[in-house]
Amino acid sequence: MNKKIFSGVQPTGNLHLGNYIGAIKNFVDLQNQEGNECVYCVVDLHAITAKQDPIILKNNIRETTATFLASGIDSKKSIIFNQSLVPAHSEGSWILGCIARMGWLNRMTQFKEKAGKDKEKASVGLYIYPVLMTADILLYDATHVPVGEDQKQHLELSRDIAQKFNLDFNAPNFLRAPEPLIQKNFSRIMSLKDGTNKMSKSDPSDLSRVNLTDHKDQIMNKIKKAKTDNDPLPDDDKNLSQRPEVENLLGIYSSLSGQSLKNSINEFSGKNFSEFKEKLADLGYIDLEDDYCKHAENSFDLESIRNSSLKLAYDSMFGAGKNVISRLLPETIQIHDDDNPGFHGQAPEPIHRNLLEFSELIKTNGNIDCGLATDGDADRIGLYNSRGEFI
Ligand code: AQP
């Protein structure tokens, strides 16, 4: 079966080995499988659930896109854009927020972890983050969502929301419940400083993670300083769960070398940590640097990829009558044409008006050399003709 893939990454800082092993490596593999249709989104609306400096955020959107490209995501094969340029994500999130139940959201462990002890001070956005994520996925009628293990619970929530919507409105299969695609092994990479915490962009210590843009010597230094314990490297996997840091390092090694944990243990049994760490640091250097710099420096390329992808993203939502958002609202408020029960009429003031207008514009200008683009400050979206003029 051809898969329709959707996934996103927050532009909250440098992407790290956890993002790479848990998600991006998988994005590239899926993109390269014949017949798959992939949408990879830089989810900037998710990023603002925590306070962001707008200038740094803008820069991070660029850097995340450059890292996507340098990691092997190909803009000719996959759709790449940033979420805030497609208003349907926020619109869908509101509608689906009216379907999701408080009790469901109260169970989300990521909110508990990120909000910490003082959850009264966390943003409402952080609390409803999984609803926005549900909208992201359902908008594109995605069949599969590649994510790290930490997002599994959110994916289950997306399925619950889709199923409740279909049930509430007696619309079987109207929204598709997506399947998570989670690596079987090493799907949760932990911090280099604490094997019980996941590797994360927002960890204040840069020594806790290997950034995909780190130089070789930086990686060597971080791996050398990575926490281990006083026991030797194990000769079997028994008791590894009592040694989370060692288990994590061996897991990273296994994942990057494409071998089982058992084989990695055999490879290093009886050897000392310095030898193991040296080999791990070699593998941990994913050679993105040249490609990354090339993409990061060429902001014109990034803009044009985003702009051409945006059109594809809209097309993908509108493709084959699958425009979920334009049907969500009529479905929700149950506007039916009695003579034709299969047809759902339009809401009087459809909140998806912008989207429809854009779609019409794109269709009517289909033969003209133009595309969706932003103005110079990337704050406004519209149609440009081939001379770079707003039309
Ligand atoms: N440590 C991890 N191990 C495996 N997979 C991971 N992912 C993130 N961290 C790990 C996966 O990477 C994808 C993108 O994640 P994200 O950036 O959207 O959000 P996140 O999960 O919250 O990642 P971070 O690094 O922890 O970001 P911050 O610090 O900003 O919250 C997802 O598929 C995720 O599962």
Q: What is the pLDDT of residues 211-220, one digit of tens each?
A: 988 888 899 9
The beta strands (E) that lie in the chain are given as 4-9, 37-42, 78-82, 144-146, 179-181, 370-374, 381-385
Check residue 357 and give its pLDDT. Answer: 47
Check residue 126 and give its pLDDT. Answer: 97
Mean pLDDT of the chain, nearest integer: 81
**Distance between CA atoms of residues 204 and 190, nearest Å:** 15
Residue 209 has pLDDT above 50, yes or no: yes
Three-state DSSP state, 144? strand
**Averaged pLDDT, 146-164:** 95
| DSSP 8-class letter at 16 | B
Residue 373 has pLDDT above 70, yes or no: no
CA of 152 to the centre of ligand 1 (A): 11
Question: Residues with Cβ within 6 A of ligand 1?
Answer: 9-10, 12, 18-19, 21-23, 147-148, 150-151, 187-189, 198-202
- 20 touches 71 (CB < 8 A): yes
Give catalytic status of residue 279 as yes or no: no
Residue 22 is which amino acid? Answer: G
CA of 15 to the centre of ligand 1 (A): 9
**Averaged pLDDT, 7-22:** 92
Give catalytic status of residue 76 as yes or no: no
Closest CA to 305 of 21, 40, 19: 40
**Distance between CA atoms of residues 359 and 348, nearest Å:** 18
State the pairing for strand pair 370-374/381-385.
Answer: antiparallel
pTM: 0.79
* Residue bearing the bigger pLDDT, 226 or 298: 226
Catalytic residue among 77, 114, 152, 164: 114
Q: Which tokens hold the place of 299? A: 């902001």
**Distance between CA atoms of residues 164 and 92, nearest Å:** 15
Q: Which tokens hold the place of 182? A: 């989670």
Residue 269 has pLDDT above 80, yes or no: yes
Check residue 320 and give its pLDDT. Answer: 47
Q: Which tokens hold the place of 207? A: 């020594």
Ligand 1 atom with the smallest distance to the CA of 50 is 30
